[in-house]
Chain A
Amino acid sequence: GAGVSQSPRYKVAKRGQDVALRCDPISGHVSLFWYQQALGQGPEFLTYFQNEAQLDKSGLPSDRFFAERPEGSVSTLKIQRTQQEDSAVYLCASSLDPRVYNEQFFGPGTRLTVL
């Protein structure tokens, strides 16, 4: 079946604009994760969903960042009033069952550039 997909692949925003990044996880995967990867760095955890419930949002850097997964499948990461420091690749990952260890499958990422 298809892997994790993300759209758009590239996004350029002017400082102050709002952006929305979409993640389509693998069908049937319960867990969904968002990561932020700055240039030359490893991914940093942003938030985690189990079905539609956002169980951990400890990594969101500010209240300008908001994520949702209303029907337990597709997720959207929204960034309001974008700043230059928000420029990064945003990675989405999904895994099958949070009750046991399951491999996280990553999407290709969305590269956000804030001018």
Chain B
Amino acid sequence: AQTVTQSQPEMSVQEAETVTLSCTYDTSESDYYLFWYKQPPSRQMILVIRQEAYKQQNATENRFSVNFQKAAKSFSLKISDSQLGDAAMYFCAYKAGGYQKVTFGTGTKLQVIP
């Protein structure tokens, strides 16, 4: 079974600084997707960034980028120039190719300090 592990229950970052959230996963599949979702206090989950396993290049979306280490099964999220609006729960998630089910980690609560 696929598992997703986020070992940092809470993180904090100063506004305008950079923070990295960690995620590891376990799978025997070769075709899969990895995601970072953001869940603000209003609870509507929003996709931040995704990575296809077959792509070697790390995905980037504006201030958000990932460090995808396939052999180590590691998928960290880097947030640059942190803003107050980045404060939220962040969930790492996994989906096997050809399947629809998404498996989420337990989340990291990010606090942004003004």
A108 to B42 CA separation, bound complex (whole angstroms): 7
Give Cα A45 to B99, complex, Å. Answer: 12
> Which residues of B lie under 8 Å from residue A18 when comparing CB positions?
none
**How many B residues have CB within 8 A of the partner chain?**
21
Chain A residues in contact with chain B, CB under 8 A?
A: 3, 31, 33, 35, 40-45, 48, 50, 55-56, 58-59, 89, 91, 93, 98, 101, 103-104, 106-109
**Which residue numbers of B lie inside 8 Å of A, CB to CB?**
4, 33, 42-47, 50, 52, 91, 93, 95, 100-107
Report the number of A-B residue pairs with Cβ-Cβ less than 8 Å. 52
**CB contact under 8 A between A42 and B42, given known A33-B100, A56-B101, A104-B47:** no
Cα distance, A93 to B35, chains bound together (Å): 15
Partner of B44, one of A43, A44, A98, A106: A106
Q: Which residues of B contact A43 (CB under 8 A)?
A: 45, 91, 104
